Structure 1
């Protein structure tokens, strides 16, 4: 059971349908839709970050535990051919629907969220954390330096590389021939993806064009054993 308090925020695991509905409401606000819920919600552990003073949900995400060989049952498998990862040994967790209240900009929210994620990973001996990292909108022009950076430094190892499955994709690794501007790339990189990359994460060689959620997303994997020691210390520092 996840329960983590740090300063003005509290991370807790959803315990009721009311808690999950609160997470879904925040997700709907962030994605600009009337309702955000799917069949995967029932299979996931939902983590809510609340503001202590009033209990408001300011951040949420969900984690779906999967045994080795079961990655084809994940949300991501709707969009990516993940046969290569079926042989990944150990406990897998898909992390998804990570949202922060768009009116909030306190970095402590992310610190508490990542602390809760770390506690879950440690408690469940997770070996691979994965999911879809999203860029806002479906136009690629503003993100070319970011995609060029992903191609140059962060592609998945060939043995784990996801293949194309979705009908609409941007094959940036094959199409881009530009040298990335590092400053522009990091400015346009989604914050969640930046954190994954600092943890040694890797991505698919193409982005899926998801018009339903108005995003471009790349499959992202983080091998827990490969996270740099200094980064692990920072993640666990929140746990006290």
Structure 2
């Protein structure tokens, strides 16, 4: 599982936008006492891993390798090659590591290919997708989570602002990553999975499928039997947020028993992001990053 559930919808149309940061700063954005930036030290990455443990294991009942469970950290080999986007609440007293309330893990294509590939490739056959776009640079979004008390519009906006600024800074052309439904029975999400399959499939040059040995059917209901309103309400908020941005969903779901989730692959070409979101977050990466 690469992208975790957030409790509120992604909605950039709020009254208070993230404040632009001077180009000579290393912070992507601020709202009040909250700020988003990349982790600067191994201690901050360790703290982000502790936040992930609290969400994935204590809340979502994931089962990690014994050493990770002993250390109470969600950690794997990809942490060493990824950049770690953080949201911090500077109003929290204590060390900076105590202020981390949300995180994303970011992996650029050039880094992934130099280190054995993308995390999502274990579940989804992304090689044909990459091969069809040799002129494009892809970025994988993963391990997204926010502490329960901070699942608000402001925190989600800051995470997206950080992702957008990072993608523009590094010249990324498309984003992708796993998004998760709770539980390991796809049939329990028949309405939502069928709705995604019928309405926002990744097709043509953006087509991608689950690995054949892991493939689970998403087309569990005929399109004429789907109530759109009920289907939308049954989607995890993070997936609805991706859809608003213009994302597509790959073919087939994958059951991740370790993380107790059913995963789908989200594919989001930068060119598909609607202008109202680009205008909101800013078309120039210089607004957010140095």
Q: Is the 8 A contact 1:70 1:86 kept in 2?
A: no
Aligned ranges 1:33-182 → 2 under 5 Å = 33=62, 34=69, 35-54=73-92, 55=96, 56-67=99-110, 70=113, 73-87=117-131, 88=133, 89-165=135-211, 167-173=213-219, 175-178=220-223, 179-182=225-228
Q: CA–CA distance in 2 between the matches of 1:100 and 1:68?
A: 25
CA separation of 1:124 and 1:65: change in aligned 2, threshold 3 A = same
Q: Is the 8 A contact 1:135 1:215 kept in 2?
A: yes
Aligned ranges 1:205-224 → 2 under 5 Å = 205-224=251-270
Task: Report the aligned-residue RMSD.
Answer: 2.3
Q: Is the 8 A contact 1:45 1:62 kept in 2?
A: yes
TM-score, with structure 2 as normaliser: 0.76
Q: CA–CA distance in 2 between the matches of 1:62 and 1:12?
A: 12
Which stretch of structure 1 is more off in the superposition, 162-171 or 68-77?
68-77
Task: Give the Å deviation of 1:74.
Answer: 0.3
TM-score, with structure 1 as normaliser: 0.90
Q: Is the 8 A contact 1:61 1:97 kept in 2?
A: yes
Instruction: Determine which structure has more spread, i.e. the larger CA radius of gyration.
Output: 2
Q: CA–CA distance in 1 between the matches of 2:28 and 2:205?
A: 36
SS across alignment from 2:263? strand
Between 1 and 2, higher relative CO (CA 8 Å, sep ≥ 6) is seen in 2
Match of 1:18 in 2: 43
Q: Is the 8 A contact 2:210 2:250 kept in 1?
A: no
Task: Give the Å deviation of 1:3.
Answer: 3.5
SS across alignment from 1:73? coil
Q: CA–CA distance in 2 between the matches of 1:106 and 1:39?
A: 30
Unaligned runs of 5+ in 1: none
SS across alignment from 1:169? coil
Alignment coverage as a number of residue pairs: 238
Bigger proportion of residues as strand: 1
Unaligned runs of 5+ in 2: 1-25, 63-68
Q: Is the 8 A contact 1:69 1:86 kept in 2?
A: no
Cα deviation digits, residues 9-68 of structure 1 (max 9, x gap)? 111211111111111111111111533111111111101101120152111001001149
Q: Is the 8 A contact 1:28 1:36 kept in 2?
A: yes
